[in-house]
Amino acid sequence: MTEFTLANPWLTALLVNGALGLLAWLLPKKLLTLQGYLHAGVLGIGIWGTLGWRGYGVILVYFILGSAVTRLGFAQKERLGIAEGRSGLRGPENVWGSAATALVCGLLTLICPDGWLPLLTLGYVASLSAKLADTTASEVGKAYGQRTFLITTLKPVPKGTEGAVSLEGTLAGLGGGLVLALTGWAAGLITPWGVVLATGAAFVANTLESLIGASLQTRWFWLTNELVNGINTAIGALVAVGFALLGR
């Protein structure tokens, strides 16, 4: 039977997430719905329990930066009808669409051989790099993009169109992916070469997500934004791990 002591990562995860969740809910400015906070708590326990404070720190940075960029130019995006719903509050579907892949990478560390640990932590960081790149590119593009094009045809389209890209958003997305990758390196989860792989994988994932949005999302009703986000993060993790394996 597992002994629950303060040295046990799962008990620490429960205490830390409970305290931070309560603090976040009591703050006047909410970032998630109540259900969103509850699901984020489950996610946080899973991440801390498998990857410790390093993994938790990385996903916390993602959450803070992703929430911050969502607020950029929010009033203008609301006027244009392209702002996030619920006044920017995220729910359970957003939590899992953004981080289900990250949690899978963490849980796999419990059953995979130790030699897989560097690849799984790389996949973890790359999945979050891909998501922050996507969020940053989308929100900066909607707020500050001067010219927006459909990625499949390069024809001008209104801001907020599925599959639309802009120069401002693309550059911001690259920066967002790099920042998260550097966070993973600072936390000791990946190497400097892993930073390159995670950032590159984030760019590939972001590009493919735009292609999916432009060509498939408008045709298939079940292909929701949250599902596409999950695909984005999975591509980021798989591309980074794939190139790491090829480089061995």
Domain range for 203:
9-246
Tally of structural domains, the chain: 1
Q: Within a domain: residue 224? A: yes
pLDDT category of residue 5 using cuts at 50, 70 and 90: very low
Closest listed residue to residue 10, CA positions, set 126, 107, 125: 107
- pLDDT over 90 for what percent of the chain? 51
Closest listed residue to residue 165, CA positions, set 211, 199, 128, 205: 211
Q: Within a domain: residue 104? A: yes
What type of residue is 26? L
pTM across the whole model:
0.89
Q: Within a domain: residue 2? A: no
Q: Within a domain: residue 4? A: no
**Over the stretch 30-89, which tens digit does the pLDDT of each residue have?**
778 888 889 999 999 999 999 999 999 999 999 999 988 887 766 666 665 555 555 567
Q: Within a domain: residue 42? A: yes
**Over the stretch 207-238, which tens digit does the pLDDT of each residue have?**
999 888 888 877 777 788 889 999 999 999 99
Distance separating alpha carbons of residues 116 and 20, to the nearest angstrom = 31
Contact 8, 49 (CB under 8 A): no
Distance separating alpha carbons of residues 199 and 102, to the nearest angstrom = 16
Q: Within a domain: residue 39? A: yes
Contact 126, 201 (CB under 8 A): yes
Average confidence (pLDDT) over 97-126: 95
Q: Within a domain: residue 84? A: yes
Q: Within a domain: residue 88? A: yes
